[in-house]
Amino acid sequence: MNGAEALLRTLVDGGVEVLFTNPGTTELHLVGALESVPEMRGVLALFEGVVTGAADGYARIAGKPAATLLHLGPGLAYGLSNLHNSRRANSPVVSIVGDHATFHTAFDPPLNSDIAALAGWLRGPVRRPEDAAGAGPDAAATLAAALEAPGQIATVIMPADVSWSDGGAAAAPVPPRPASTVSQKVVTQIADVLRGGDTTALVIGGTALREAGLTAASRIATATGARVLQELYSNRVERGAGLPAFPRLGFYPEQVLEQLNGVDRLIVAGTKAPISFFAYPDQPSLLVPQGAQTHILAEVGQDAVAALVQLADLVAPGTTAEVTGPQRPALPTGALSLQNWADVVAALLPERAIIIDESVSSGTALAAATAGSPRHDVLMQTGGAMGDGLPLAVGAAVAAPDRPVVALVADGCVMYTASALWTQVREQLNITNVILNNHAYAILRQEWSHFSNRPGLASPDTNPLFDLTNPQIDFVGLANAFGMPASRATTAEQLADQFSQALAQPGPHLIDATVPPAA
């Protein structure tokens, strides 16, 4: 077999089932190899940011990596922003990047560039087989690296002649290095902290935000009185009726410092100690209260869930978790507001839904509204790179075709990756896209008002660079242009009606929901 086939066969043997791609000439033999390795499903996107965001969403729901296939340096470049989000989510991704034939690069043709430098920006390992015989082993090593806890972007650069040459063979899967476990000593020390009577907060993140971790954290809180908070942006959070729920850390420094006010001891599991998302003049970056002591129960990449369960068994034997009861808001009425759109979603959310939350400044009411909705998962944009929402929905729906996906995306995020709608239609994915349309980069207006040292300018309300009303984007027309059924909602009644209908029908739908900008 040729190198391309050896690569794909090795990945399939290692459990990879989906290849998201926007290919070009240097990847043609990999496209061809999809026919001889039919266990690998190729999913086409028209833009690389959709490819990479979809792989992230897939990994978060499937619990294993998808592969991405991109066209040399420029193709990878377009995919980098959502790979940055993946990196911050600790999602495993096998990133395959085609390159010129090994003998061609020295002539520096127009598409030539330092692909390894770009891939290295993601901090994961980069491999580049020099011949077809190397393709299988490099694929196996790359897959193992992607899977290494907590998950990372592992890249394999495939020169075109490595792909097209014979002499390849599938390589046996390489077992990934397992997550390191937290020592009993650390758990015991932190148990002592919890028993010490100081005011204590426990900040959890990563895999600890699924049922086992949430349950352990709740037991600890109930037994010891510790305040539990969840990290701000997460790979995946299990929520809803029957699960414990905890407040998220705030976005602004003063919010976090208020949440941690009076805390003497800060315990961290599966995430980092709280830091501000952005810096502001005269505000701290590290948001640990003055004088408080930080204790790391589990670093990112360690088995935080096991550590929390052990800790709960020490400090809360016999204590059960407090779970949220089933509770939905009544269906609201009237013009859409930042509260009532969230209430509509919460009131109608189906069983086992996957919520994609890129609602940005329009989403402040969502978490509270949906706390007692049927159990669901929430995937968030983790790295601050806009435009992750619609692609995450693609990947989540490919990973779980039997689950309804609800993508809640602010209007300012759509145009980075709008062609995700095309792939949603092409693959007939069960996604209800709700565009929260305030016709503005409202988050920038909000941020602007947050700076103490902003110049005395015209009001941000009139700054043309924050304003998206000229022209207004017709998201119904945009969706229709890709063949997607779509509708517009300006009242809660309309949103409820359209949301119900979209969920009841197979395939993707879009609702352009007119909402007021956040104050």
The H or E element that residue 19 is part of is strand 18-21
Quote the least distance from Cβ 299 to a copy of itself, whole Å.
Answer: 13
Q: Is 296 in the site for a copy of itself (CB under 8 A)?
A: no
Piece in contact with a copy of itself (CB under 8 A), picked from 144-152, 358-366, 439-447, 497-505: 439-447
Piece in contact with a copy of itself (CB under 8 A), picked from 17-25, 60-68, 125-133, 134-142: 17-25
Q: Is 480 in the site for a copy of itself (CB under 8 A)?
A: yes
Q: Is 130 in the site for a copy of itself (CB under 8 A)?
A: no
Q: Is 422 in the site for a copy of itself (CB under 8 A)?
A: yes
Q: Is 160 in the site for a copy of itself (CB under 8 A)?
A: yes
Do residues 286 and 273 make contact, with C-beta atoms less than 8 angstroms apart?
A: yes
Q: Is 473 in the site for a copy of itself (CB under 8 A)?
A: yes
End-to-end CA, the chain: 61
Piece in contact with a copy of itself (CB under 8 A), picked from 36-44, 53-61, 213-221, 315-323: 36-44
Please tell me what DSSP assigns to residue 138.
Answer: H
* E-only strand ranges, 309-459: 354-358, 376-380, 405-410, 431-437
Interatomic CA distance for residues 221 and 321, integer angstroms: 9
Q: Is 292 in the site for a copy of itself (CB under 8 A)?
A: no
Residue number with CB closer to a copy of itself (107 or 291): 107
Helix (H, G, I), strand (E, B) or coil at 21: strand
- Looking at 225-348, list the stretches that DSSP marks H as alpha helix, in order from N- to C-terminal side: 253-259, 304-315, 340-348
Q: Is 504 in the site for a copy of itself (CB under 8 A)?
A: no
Q: Is 371 in the site for a copy of itself (CB under 8 A)?
A: no
Q: Is 38 in the site for a copy of itself (CB under 8 A)?
A: no
Residue number with CB closer to a copy of itself (248 or 328): 248
Q: Is 458 in the site for a copy of itself (CB under 8 A)?
A: yes
Interatomic CA distance for residues 154 and 66, integer angstroms: 11
Residues between 386 and 405 that touch a copy of itself (CB under 8 A): 386-387
The H or E element that residue 218 is part of is helix 211-224
Q: Which of 18, 34, 209, 311 binds a copy of itself (CB under 8 A)?
A: 34
Piece in contact with a copy of itself (CB under 8 A), picked from 10-18, 347-355, 468-476, 488-496: 468-476
Residues between 482 and 501 that touch a copy of itself (CB under 8 A): 482-483
Q: Is 174 in the site for a copy of itself (CB under 8 A)?
A: no
Concatenating the DSSP letter of every residue in 25-62 gives GGGHHHHHHHHH-TTSEEEE-SSHHHHHHHHHHHHHHH
R_g over Cα of the chain: 24
Q: Is 270 in the site for a copy of itself (CB under 8 A)?
A: no
Q: Which of 63, 196, 225, 279 binds a copy of itself (CB under 8 A)?
A: 279
Q: Is 221 in the site for a copy of itself (CB under 8 A)?
A: no
Whether a cis peptide bond, with omega within 30° of 0, leads into 150 is yes
Q: Is 410 in the site for a copy of itself (CB under 8 A)?
A: no
> Torsion angle of alpha carbons 396, 124, 50, 349, nearest 10°?
30
Closest CA to 92 of 40, 142, 153: 153
